[in-house]
């Protein structure tokens, strides 16, 4: 068959652009539902999101798409690199999606959209019972999807593959088992030392000033407010609505400093990734982060490697004191640096320190495996959560709001997502080693607030590619390595040996 690529490629690109427009509208409908939508808008909103998602889904599995993929896929030698990747990614989505009946998918989107609102109220009221039936339906439907997709070894593998191509239970079990051992060992040494005092973080921090200081730091990082905005939501998130419109949210607590500050930097890290993707990829499904793990590596890198470093606060602590003279005027840089890095097993994942954070992830990872393998049921989650927290972290939630209800992910049906956070920490440490190789004065640059130069490195080595390269390719190209938890362990050992005089 003779294919006229000169006509076909623009048609394919235009088809993908239309899908991108649907996803742009969906992203705004979801952002608005969590920021500004009046309460009674939820039913209409869920339906609109379901309709648009269903339509984008249909386009990804349509006969038209099949024809594009057949015709372009049989002449890959004639394709430019971007079109080649577009065909490959579209084929991957086609193969996965073709196995799900469109009406099941649409029902799942409607269910999770409503469940997220139910979860918000349930969390506020510490009321797992209201949320449980929604979660049961979500788990049931997810198991159906897993059966439709099929899997080789563990049913959870195919869920992981959605967020991190090629990731499996077998790889994760090994990575996590080493990381857990080293983490527990480090944690035991830290726990034997005197606690670092963190009371200063619970003084009064005027939310308006927190907002202003967050905006200041985001600008220093290179976040472009002409192409984004910062709002407040219950649970912080970043969302790319369009190439020139990447929004972030945070949450201000008047008596807790860390949440908004490090939440803003974290989400800002995500946003810099999206804002830094090459404009060549606009209007295609490659104009997004290549995986959730790589995405998290960017947010965790900014939040921890930069935002919780001594050098960062050598540069900005004076500014911070001038925003909060009454709460920080009598606190030295070293006291502040210790407080924001204090290690103490705690209940809430997003407020966890760098050492114990991955233990929170592993707890969720084990539960998700159980739910999907049908060896664990939703009704047993609150009890198991309490026990696991006690066993793994030595602390016990007082209620479900501090336990099983704390995260938004399950209400959105995002099983397989949580491991991305630990992968993000692992990748971030590997990237940091590469940055230190390329920029030997890395720490000095942080100390002088030359954050834009660090962003530049990330842009060159990671951001610009969007999804043009796969996670392992990005990692290999930037660091020369394959995935490895050792740099993370070294980083943690070195940083916390200093802090705790180990």
**Cα–Cα separations (whole angstroms), residue 330 to 247, 294, 322, 325:** 35, 39, 12, 8
Residues sharing a CB contact under 8 Å with residue 149, sequence separation 6 or more, in sequence order: 96, 99, 158
- Out of 1, 38, 188, 194, point to the residue binding a copy of itself (CB under 8 A): 38
8 A C-beta contact, residue 311 and residue 443: yes
- Out of 3, 5, 15, 37, point to the residue binding a copy of itself (CB under 8 A): 37
Tokens linked to 231: 């709002």
Q: What distance in Å separates the CA atoms of residue 13 and residue 15, rounded to the nearest whole number? A: 5
The number of CA neighbours under 13 Å toward the Cβ of 273 is 30
H-helix segments, 222-332: 258-275, 292-300, 310-323, 325-328
Task: State yes or no: 296 annotated in a binding site.
Answer: yes
Task: State yes or no: 266 annotated in a binding site.
Answer: yes
Establish if 212 lies at the interface with a copy of itself (CB under 8 A): no
* Residue span binding a copy of itself (CB under 8 A) among the ranges 41-49, 109-117, 316-324, 470-478: 41-49
CA end-to-end span of the chain: 70
| Cβ nearer to a copy of itself, comparing 243 with 449 | 243
* Residue span binding a copy of itself (CB under 8 A) among the ranges 34-42, 193-201, 393-401, 412-420: 34-42
Least distance from C-beta 34 to a copy of itself, angstroms? 13
Least distance from C-beta 30 to a copy of itself, angstroms? 11
Least distance from C-beta 71 to a copy of itself, angstroms? 24
Query: How many residues are given for the chain?
Result: 502
Least distance from C-beta 44 to a copy of itself, angstroms? 3
Least distance from C-beta 225 to a copy of itself, angstroms? 7
Sign of CA dihedral 225, 227, 233, 239: negative
- Out of 243, 370, 412, 449, point to the residue binding a copy of itself (CB under 8 A): 243
Establish if 30 lies at the interface with a copy of itself (CB under 8 A): no
- Out of 65, 110, 187, 241, point to the residue binding a copy of itself (CB under 8 A): 241
Owner of token pair 């979500």? 138
* Residue span binding a copy of itself (CB under 8 A) among the ranges 31-39, 116-124, 257-265, 402-410: 31-39
Site string for a copy of itself, 44-83 (x = CB under 8 A): xx-xx-xxx--x----------------------------
Establish if 28 lies at the interface with a copy of itself (CB under 8 A): yes
Least distance from C-beta 32 to a copy of itself, angstroms? 6
8 A C-beta contact, residue 389 and residue 400: no
Least distance from C-beta 208 to a copy of itself, angstroms? 14
The count of chain residues that interact with a copy of itself, using the rule CB under 8 A, is 37
Tokens linked to 305: 């490697």
**Cα–Cα separations (whole angstroms), residue 454 to 275, 444, 470:** 15, 11, 22
8 A C-beta contact, residue 210 and residue 260: yes
H-helix segments, 150-257: 157-163, 169-191, 207-221
8 A C-beta contact, residue 428 and residue 461: no
Q: What distance in Å separates the CA atoms of residue 50 and residue 107, rounded to the nearest whole number? A: 7
H-helix segments, 354-463: 357-372, 381-393, 419-438, 442-447, 451-461
* Residue span binding a copy of itself (CB under 8 A) among the ranges 36-44, 170-178, 312-320, 416-424: 36-44
Active site (catalytic) residues: 267
| Cβ nearer to a copy of itself, comparing 176 with 237 | 237
Task: Tell me which DSSP letter residue 408 carries.
Answer: S
Least distance from C-beta 36 to a copy of itself, angstroms? 7
Establish if 181 lies at the interface with a copy of itself (CB under 8 A): no
- The DSSP string of 164-175 is STT--HHHHHHH
Owner of token pair 């979801």? 30
Least distance from C-beta 317 to a copy of itself, angstroms? 30
Tokens linked to 13: 């690109």
Establish if 207 lies at the interface with a copy of itself (CB under 8 A): no
Establish if 247 lies at the interface with a copy of itself (CB under 8 A): yes
Establish if 43 lies at the interface with a copy of itself (CB under 8 A): yes
Q: What distance in Å separates the CA atoms of residue 302 and residue 446, rounded to the nearest whole number? A: 11
8 A C-beta contact, residue 56 and residue 19: yes
Task: State yes or no: 386 annotated in a binding site.
Answer: no
Q: What distance in Å separates the CA atoms of residue 21 and residue 27, rounded to the nearest whole number? A: 10
- Out of 3, 8, 25, 107, point to the residue binding a copy of itself (CB under 8 A): 25
Task: Tell me which DSSP letter residue 303 carries.
Answer: I
| Cβ nearer to a copy of itself, comparing 227 with 338 | 227
Establish if 288 lies at the interface with a copy of itself (CB under 8 A): no
Establish if 42 lies at the interface with a copy of itself (CB under 8 A): yes
* Residue span binding a copy of itself (CB under 8 A) among the ranges 18-26, 69-77, 134-142, 159-167: 18-26
Residues sharing a CB contact under 8 Å with residue 432, sequence separation 6 or more, in sequence order: 301, 305, 487, 491
- Out of 1, 2, 7, 39, point to the residue binding a copy of itself (CB under 8 A): 39
The binding site for a copy of itself (CB under 8 A) comprises 17-18, 21-22, 24-25, 28-29, 32, 36-45, 47-48, 50-52, 55, 224-229, 241-245, 247
Binding-site annotation, residues for Zn(2+): 266, 270, 296
């Amino acid at each position: 068959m003779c294919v006229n690529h000169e006509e076909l490629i623009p048609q394919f690109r235009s088809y993908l652009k239309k899908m991108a427009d649907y996803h742009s509208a969906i992203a705004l409908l979801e952002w608005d539902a969590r920021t500004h939508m009046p309460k009674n808008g939820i039913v209409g909103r869920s339906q609109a999101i379901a309709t648009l998602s269903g339509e984008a889904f249909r386009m990804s599995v349509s006969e038209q798409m099949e024809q594009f993929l057949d015709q372009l896929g049989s002449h890959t030698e004639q394709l430019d690199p971007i079109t080649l990747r577009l065909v490959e990614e579209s084929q991957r989505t086609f193969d996965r999606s073709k196995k799900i009946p469109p009406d099941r998918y649409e029902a799942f989107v409607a269910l999770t959209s409503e469940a997220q609102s139910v979860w918000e109220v349930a969390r506020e009221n510490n009321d797992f019972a209201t949320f449980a039936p929604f979660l049961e339906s979500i788990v049931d439907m997810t198991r159906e999807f897993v059966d439709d997709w099929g899997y080789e070894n563990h049913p959870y593998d195919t869920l992981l593959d959605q967020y991190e191509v090629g990731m499996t239970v077998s790889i994760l079990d090994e990575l996590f088992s080493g990381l857990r051992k080293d983490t527990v060992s480090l944690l035991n040494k830290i726990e034997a030392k005197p606690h670092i005092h963190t009371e200063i973080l619970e003084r009064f921090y005027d939310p308006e000033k927190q907002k202003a200081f967050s905006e200041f730091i985001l600008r220093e990082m290179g976040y472009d407010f002409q192409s984004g905005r910062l709002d407040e939501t219950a649970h912080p998130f970043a969302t790319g609505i369009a190439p020139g419109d990447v929004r972030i949210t945070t949450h201000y607590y008047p008596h807790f400093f860390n949440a908004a500050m490090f939440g803003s930097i974290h989400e800002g890290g995500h946003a810099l990734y999206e804002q830094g993707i090459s404009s060549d990829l606009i209007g295609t499904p490659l104009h997004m982060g290549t995986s959730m793990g790589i995405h998290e590596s960017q947010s965790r890198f900014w939040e921890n490697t930069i935002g919780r470093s001594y050098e960062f606060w050598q540069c900005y602590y004076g500014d911070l004191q001038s925003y909060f003279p009454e709460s920080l005027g009598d606190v030295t840089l070293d006291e502040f640096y210790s407080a924001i890095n204090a290690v103490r097993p705690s209940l809430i994942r997003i407020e966890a320190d760098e050492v114990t954070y991955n233990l929170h992830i592993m707890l969720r990872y084990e539960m998700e495996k159980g739910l999907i393998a049908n060896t664990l049921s939703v009704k047993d989650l609150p009890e198991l959560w309490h026990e696991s927290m006690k066993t793994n972290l030595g602390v016990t939630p007082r209620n479900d709001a501090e336990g099983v209800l704390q995260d938004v992910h399950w209400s959105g049906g995002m099983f397989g997502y949580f491991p991305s956070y630990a992968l993000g920490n692992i990748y971030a440490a590997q990237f940091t080693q590469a940055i230190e190789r390329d920029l030997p004065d890395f720490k000095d640059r942080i100390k002088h607030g030359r954050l834009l130069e660090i962003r530049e490195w990330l842009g060159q080595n990671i951001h610009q590619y969007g999804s043009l390269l796969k996670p392992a390719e990005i990692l290999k190209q930037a660091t020369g390595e394959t995935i490895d938890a050792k740099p993370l362990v070294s980083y943690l050992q070195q940083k916390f040996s200093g802090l705790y005089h180990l």
